[in-house]
Structures are given as structure tokens and as C-alpha cells.
Structure 1
């Protein structure tokens, strides 16, 4: 199936509700492990912080993996599309500038899941921050440099 159809399929039934918590995932183009260099991952982290400072969302937990990003966010003043467009476009500019290159950083689209129950929020946060352990990158979460959770 062509990539444009897959990205369009992700938008079917998508609804953005201010105040709702969402699990969001964005994947690097061709799953290249760009963020194996933690300094490039910090550029994405900077955009997460700026989006929160500007009131788009509250980031409850996040992790920047070598080839993807997971965020648990409480949406504020914008839609999911506006939030993800901003994070992906601004981080693309920053990473491309750092690498002195041009081109796409992220795959088109993103995956979202609305969190239905309050008790799911902390279990999803644990899932997100434990991603580097499951991937075999570290043995302890605190040894991985690209994650955070609001409860810590």
C-alpha cells in the first residue's frame, strides 16, 4: 500500500479533544536510528518543551528512541494534528540544520490513541519510559538520556 494511503488511514476517525490524554507515536523516516546520537534527540526534546511552554499540550511522559518518539500528552489549546505538525516540523529543521542536510526526518502521519481511564495513564507512562529497557539499550531507565515523566 502506498505511504500516502497509510498516512491518510491514520486520520480516519481522528478527533482532538482539549483536556483529553493521548498516547502519540511518530516514527523516523525509513526507521533510521537518527536519535542514537542523544544530542540530536535533545533537539526533539527542546521542541516538546517549547510546545508545552506555548500551551499546546502538557507532556506527562515521553521517550525519544533511536528511530521513534512516544509521548503521553494532555492536549490543551490545539488539535493533535497541529501539535504533531509543530513538533515534527520544528524538530526536522533543527536536526537537519545540525546535520547540515535537507530532507524528511519523520514519516508522514503519526499514531494516536485516546486514553480512556485515569488508571491507564500511569501504566502507559511506565510503558513509555521502559521502552529503552525493552529495546535492550539500557538496563535501567535512569541510564537512558532521552525520557521524562511528570511524576518524577
Structure 2
């Protein structure tokens, strides 16, 4: 699956190192707990994209756990309260016709398309299981 979830009102709460690290370490924890296999992730200032394969949880349960934990942790860092993530998220089941590598490269190039960097390698908040 390709998952996209956005910060409430598209506020740029994920632009700092600490918040981005919470998101990335939370995804890696879910993988370590064998709830999913994480292929790639990119943390943008106001949203997150990640590619995963489910292992045990339902997709809804996994995303709910991720959003709940990261919201509490990041708002704790920011000394804020209230809704952090938009309630909905977008999921795209990667079909047999799609090549996982192409989906991952599209995801990783999000900061380039947003005009934040010229090469995604220069963006500090990304992860990929494979060398790219």
C-alpha cells in the first residue's frame, strides 16, 4: 500500500527534525513489531507518504495506531493540544501492474516536485529499504 496522511489544516508541524524523527521511528517500530514491512517513507512539512506491506494488523488499525501515537508524541514536543492529523487518510493498493520501484521513486521525489530540494537525496526526512 501507498499511504498518505496529512496534518490537520495542513499545518507544517513536521518540518522540524524532532517531529520528523518521531514519524520515522514510529514507522520503524511498527515494522520491528512485525505489523508491517516498510519499503519507503518521506516526511513532508505537512504530510507523510509511506509504502508498506501488511503483516498482521488491518490497514485501518495500523494507520490508527501510527496516527494516535505520533500525534500525542509530536504535540508533546510542541506543547500543543487538539487534533493533529486529518481524520481521513489516502491508501492506494499497489497493483500487480505497478512496479514497486516506480511507486517508491515517485514517493521519494515528492520533495523535488514540491520545490524543496533539487534531488531527493538532499531532503533529510526519507527512508528507503533499498539503495536508490
Instruction: Indicate the residue corresponding to 2:7 in structure 1.
Output: 28
Instruction: Indicate the residue corresponding to 1:151 in structure 2.
Output: 130
Q: Tell whether 2:24 aligns with 1:45.
A: yes
- Report matched runs for 1:4-15 at 5 Å: none
Q: Tell whether 2:65 aligns with 1:94.
A: no
Deviation at 1:72, TM superposition (A): 0.7
User: Matches of 2:86 and 2:130 in 1, distance apart?
Assistant: 30
User: Matches of 2:17 and 2:108 in 1, distance apart?
Assistant: 16
Cα deviation per residue 1:9-32 (whole Å; 9 max; x = unaligned)?
Answer: xxxxxxxxxxxxx11110110011
- Report matched runs for 1:3-152 at 5 Å: 22-117=1-96, 119-152=98-131
Structure 2's unaligned 5+ residue stretches are none
Cα deviation per residue 1:98-147 (whole Å; 9 max; x = unaligned)?
Answer: 01111111000211111112752110000010001110111111111111
TM-score (norm 2): 0.95
User: Matches of 2:83 and 2:3 in 1, distance apart?
Assistant: 19
Which structure would you say has the larger Rg?
1
Number of corresponding residues:
131
* CA shift in 2, pair 1:118/1:61, >3 Å: farther
SS in 2 for 1:61: strand
TM-score (norm 1): 0.83
SS in 1 for 2:127: strand
Structure 1's unaligned 5+ residue stretches are 1-21
**Please, what is the CA RMSD of the aligned residues?**
1.1
4+ runs deviating over 4 angstroms: none
Instruction: Indicate the residue corresponding to 1:11 in structure 2.
Output: none
